[in-house]
Chain A
Amino acid sequence: MDLSLPRLFPDSGPLDERDRALVRAVQGGLPLVPRPYAAVAAAAGMSEAEVIARLRRLAAEGVIRRLGVVVRHRELGYTANAMVVWDVPDDRVAGLGRCLARYPFVTLCYRRPRRPPAWPYNLFCMIHGRSREGVLAQVEQLVRECGLDALPRAVLFSRRRFKQRGAWYGGDARDAG
């Protein structure tokens, strides 16, 4: 990876160019060596101390949500991946979203805009389970315990995963265009 030529990012956010170089250098994973940040430092053209200080700052600022293992859930046996969605009256979204988020098997829960007529749903959650039957039973539990039975819903199981990895941040060849 060529990090020697600084690029201009006219709409770049709070990151400076050295942050960006670091974001690029670690996004594919940390080296599995006793001093990984020293190895990153060599690749990114900075000192180990600077890498550590910058990563700590990026974590404190929330740019790094977390650092650790990123699992492939299918390979862990979580083969039933469902996006479960409801059409919830706007004034009830906050309360119902908080109710769904309390269940440990709900791994993400967001309010999103409806796109009628193709898409009438505005409350989304993800459930990763080991079987479709298990996931459907969990959906029934949510419906019952959060009082969602009267609301239109859909359960979208994934049929095939085409791509699962982090987005590539910090620029690549396409940035020239």
Chain B
Amino acid sequence: MLDETDRAIINGTQGGFPVCERPYAGLAARLGLDEAELLERLQRLLDDGVLDRFGPLYRAEAMGGAVTLAAMAVPAERFDEVARFVNGYPEVAHNYRRDHDLNMWFVVASDRPRRVKQVLAAIEAATGLKVYNMPRRREFHLGLRLEA
């Protein structure tokens, strides 16, 4: 499980990471670690699956692209098949099964604006199921930050 140092690393890097020649060295100094230990621990957190990656979160709209949240009502017996098809698109960022008639919820993002609608249309055509497109109209908060 995570020890205090792991938690400090996770909590200390969710806010950002320097872009300079030796970024890990600077971060390690801030956390009171040496660079090699920080790198080892990050590698272990990745290997253990606690971290998905150590890298960028992009904003598709700032690239000139688009992002949306989409939902479908998928019959239970088709759920796995439809999930496999939807998740096969690299533009699908994540996909959750939720408790509702609309039971599949996924995010679609692309750096090319027309691509999001193409993906939604292709899913609708291939599955025969309606895809509800719910792009955000306004954002009140941003930045998923979880205390480890």
Residue A69 is within 8 A (CB to CB) of chain B in the complex: yes
Once A68-B13, A101-B140, A166-B93 are accepted as A-B contacts, the answer to whether A63 and B112 lie under 8 Å apart by CB is no
Residue A55 is within 8 A (CB to CB) of chain B in the complex: yes
Does the CB pair B99–A159 fall under 8 Å? yes
| Binary contact track A101-141/B, C-beta < 8 Å → 1, others 0 | 10000111111110100110000111010000000000000
Does the CB pair B49–A111 fall under 8 Å? no
Does the CB pair B102–A56 fall under 8 Å? no
Residue B5 is within 8 A (CB to CB) of chain A in the complex: no
Rounded to whole Å, the gap between the CB of A163 and the closest CB of chain B is: 5
Q: A23-B111, A32-B24, A63-B58 are in contact. List 16 more A-B contacts (CB 8 A).
A: A12-B112, A29-B55, A34-B39, A64-B57, A66-B56, A67-B17, A70-B55, A83-B98, A110-B140, A158-B97, A163-B92, A166-B93, A167-B67, A167-B93, A171-B111, A174-B89
Once A100-B140, A161-B94 are accepted as A-B contacts, the answer to whether A115 and B132 lie under 8 Å apart by CB is yes
Residue B137 is within 8 A (CB to CB) of chain A in the complex: yes
Interface size on A, residues (CB 8 A): 83
C-alpha spacing A161/B52, complex, angstroms: 14
Does the CB pair A63–B96 fall under 8 Å? no
C-alpha spacing A161/B83, complex, angstroms: 10
Does the CB pair A34–B35 fall under 8 Å? yes
Does the CB pair A163–B95 fall under 8 Å? yes
Residue A62 is within 8 A (CB to CB) of chain B in the complex: yes
Instruction: Report 27 cross-chain contacts, Cβ distance below 8 Å, ordered by A residue.
Output: A14-B64, A15-B63, A27-B56, A27-B58, A28-B53, A35-B21, A36-B24, A55-B19, A63-B62, A65-B57, A65-B142, A66-B57, A67-B16, A67-B55, A69-B14, A70-B51, A70-B57, A71-B10, A71-B146, A110-B136, A110-B138, A112-B135, A124-B69, A156-B98, A166-B57, A167-B109, A170-B111
Q: Which residue of B lies closest to A52 (CB)?
A: B19
Interfacial chain A residues near B57, Cβ < 8 Å? 64-67, 70, 166
C-alpha spacing A9/B110, complex, angstroms: 12
Question: Top 5 nearest A-B pairs by Cβ distance?
Answer: A13-B64, A168-B90, A29-B53, A101-B141, A167-B109
C-alpha spacing A71/B67, complex, angstroms: 21
Once A11-B114, A52-B20, A109-B139 are accepted as A-B contacts, the answer to whether A26 and B65 lie under 8 Å apart by CB is no
Among A15, A67, A158, contact of B56 (Cβ-Cβ < 8 Å): A67
